A and B are shown apart, each in its own frame.
Chain A
């Protein structure tokens, strides 16, 4: 059975110049697998992810024919029900640790806050769990990081702290919005293998949002390519190189390659008929 089902999702923002549709009729379903969503900035991939948690603020509006998570209708759920889902069952790793961590709270306090308030476990136990979570994301010195302030961490450390924070309640579905874009390739590989392990060992579903096609192809089972709020192509990850849509091909071709020719990189041609969907 699928974990998440979305049919004809539309997200509209009312602006001074009229409504702007950021997501225009997106449908997909997700089992306990790794689904990648790729596209350029502004393609609606992050908004799609946020809609699942209903984290779109007015004047933004979410509409869909169907949006179900494990049998729960996310469109009809009350704010209270949503709050109970967010964290323990549905979690999202946000893009930028600089803006997503509370700057005036120590890392340890941020990691244990949910455990103390929601799960009402003892302080010592919460601390133990938090340290274990930091170790799970390969932070070498978790005791020190627990006492650190967010500004004392590098981007990569902050990113891993956020992943640790989301993994503590062991969610069923994790939405990761560019979780590794602030990381170096070597750390990136580590974080991906951590996420991979969780999907495999705990049967977690994962939506992996990224602008990096190569990374998504390497890591996910299935890839959705988004352009201007629509899914233009859906592919099995290993078939990425055989992409048919000119947008996907354009995104692939404009990447430099090791040992590739020194000729100017082909830009993305937006003049085709596909560009005006």
Chain B
């Protein structure tokens, strides 16, 4: 019984520490992010290995592929889901060139962590595809 209790306490404390170790920003306005896409190329990850810089103002964002300096723009909505979890909802292009995707962030520190990219419709096929990577908040 004592063992069970101390184990429970241990997990509680460790769990608590882990959850409070970082926080996602409350807003993305004015932020600059570096996105490093996972390096393994696959049909779901055609942008493998690229480094992208994303800048955000209140409603719109600009994403530049730093390896080629090509850029795209779109509108976004950011939701702060939990202390260490946030999600961007992106809308890029129009008509046949419309891309809709989300980037879900889990922080490791206040400035860096991992993301899951999840597209439902896009110019880069297949429409439905996912991949992961690392993000860094530059400022």
A and B: interacting chains: no
